């Protein structure tokens, strides 16, 4: 059979196959349509258990709460532009505070803060619980309205809250200053405040711009010590030193017992975690009136590795190096010869030789 134009020529069997194929396609389409009518498709909906839904809701609320800006207590008389912006105040509202302060005036109440700034009721309701106003400015004789601080406020009477009004001193640093002041029995010189850990020199200068130092007659130690001998001091005595807490005081007493009592002051340097500046404060309060004289000394030239390592300042590895050096170079003639041993801790020579001897 010839084709027509562009149509190909099919045999009789091919034409029958094509007709059957078209018939099957139409039949399948009809069957699918029929099934849709008889059995309409349904969307499956998964029901979340109520307990899981509650857990999800609670976690979601926690996440939302964490995203909120945390507000800390603040004094509007000393608020900076950055702090005001952080609290949600506009530039105009911040400028109103600055203009009010430049007039030598002082915000005395929370409501006055709202009136001067002109903040919205909604923002005021958020900030109101965090507004903290100090009361010492009410003594007009001592308060300098130009600077916004006491003109004659004693640093030895200042509270941690008072110190937080200094730019650069936060809650942690203010508490640290007060604790140090109490430990030394009040400041007797301006230089002492520089020893407070974390207090920058420029911040210390601001302190003395706003506070003054009282006479030394008030500088009476407030701490009561049961003894001045470091070998008899209790943990409570040690805790009176600024920089020594419960754990460190117990560590000092435990180390003292392990060596049978301090024989020289340098042994205090071996207490783990005791900072040099704290050690200085210790020896300002305590003495070594009764040093430990009952130290069992080990013969440096006869002792083996195990015996040398019993020295509280000699590790097993160091004892091996000492014995190795002695084997190669002969007996030690002086304790200074120990400095020739590899990796010998030179700064601890004085503590190490306490437990050693050269001859029987």
Query: What is the chain's pLDDT, residue by residue, as a tens digit (360 residues)?
Result: 555 554 466 778 888 888 888 888 888 888 877 776 665 555 555 566 777 777 766 776 666 566 556 777 888 887 777 778 778 888 888 888 888 877 767 788 888 888 888 888 888 888 888 888 765 444 444 444 444 444 447 888 888 888 888 888 888 888 888 888 877 778 888 888 888 888 888 888 888 888 888 754 444 445 667 778 899 999 988 988 888 889 999 999 999 998 889 988 888 988 988 988 889 889 988 998 888 888 888 888 888 999 888 888 888 999 999 999 999 988 898 989 899 999 898 888 888 888 888 876
pLDDT (0 to 100) of residue 230: 92
Rounded CA-CA distance 19/81 in Å is 86
Rounded CA-CA distance 114/96 in Å is 11
pLDDT (0 to 100) of residue 45: 55
pLDDT (0 to 100) of residue 219: 44
164-173 long-range Cβ contacts below 8 angstroms, 24+ apart: 165/75, 165/78, 165/134, 165/210, 166/203, 166/206, 166/207, 166/210, 167/78, 167/80, 167/203, 167/206, 168/200, 168/202, 168/203, 168/206, 169/199, 169/203, 169/207, 172/198, 173/198, 173/199
Residues whose CB is less than 8 angstroms from the CB of residue 127 and which lie 6 or more positions away in sequence, other chains included = 71, 87, 88, 119
Rounded CA-CA distance 166/210 in Å is 8
pLDDT (0 to 100) of residue 146: 40
Cβ 198 vs Cβ 173: under 8 Å? yes
């Amino acid at each position: 059979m010839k084709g027509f134009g562009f149509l190909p020529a099919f045999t009789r069997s091919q034409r029958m196959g094509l007709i059957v194929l078209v018939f099957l396609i139409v039949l399948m389409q009809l069957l699918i349509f029929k099934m849709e009518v008889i059995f309409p498709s349904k969307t499956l909906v998964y029901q979340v258990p109520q307990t899981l839904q509650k857990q999800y809701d609670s976690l979601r609320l926690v996440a939302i709460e964490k995203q909120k800006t945390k507000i800390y207590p603040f004094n509007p008389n000393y608020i900076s532009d950055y702090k005001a912006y952080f609290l949600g105040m506009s530039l105009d509202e911040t400028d109103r505070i600055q203009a009010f302060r430049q007039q030598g005036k002082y915000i005395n109440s929370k409501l006055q803060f709202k009136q001067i700034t002109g903040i919205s009721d909604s923002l005021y309701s958020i900030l109101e619980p965090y507004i903290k106003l100090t009361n010492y400015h009410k003594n007009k004789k001592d308060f300098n309205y130009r600077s916004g601080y006491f003109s004659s406020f004693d640093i030895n009477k200042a509270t941690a809250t008072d110190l937080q009004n200094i730019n650069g001193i936060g809650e942690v640093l203010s508490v640290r200053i007060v604790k140090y002041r109490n430990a030394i029995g009040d400041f007797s010189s301006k230089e002492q405040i520089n020893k407070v850990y974390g207090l920058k020199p420029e911040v210390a200068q601001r302190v003395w711009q706003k506070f003054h130092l009282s006479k030394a007659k008030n500088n009476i130690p407030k701490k009561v010590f049961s003894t001045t001998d470091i070998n008899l001091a209790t943990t409570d005595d040690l805790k009176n030193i600024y920089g020594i807490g419960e754990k460190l005081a117990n560590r000092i007493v435990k180390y003292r017992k392990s060596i049978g009592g301090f024989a020289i002051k340098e042994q205090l340097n071996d207490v783990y975690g005791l900072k040099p500046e704290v050690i200085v404060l210790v020896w300002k309060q305590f003495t070594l009136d009764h040093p430990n004289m009952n130290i069992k000394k080990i013969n440096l030239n006869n002792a083996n590795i195990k015996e040398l390592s019993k020295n509280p300042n000699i590790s097993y590895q160091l004892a091996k190096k000492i014995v190795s050096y002695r084997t190669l170079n002969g007996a030690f003639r002086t304790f200074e010869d120990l400095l020739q041993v590899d990796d010998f801790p030179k700064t601890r020579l004085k503590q190490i030789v306490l437990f050693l001897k050269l001859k029987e």
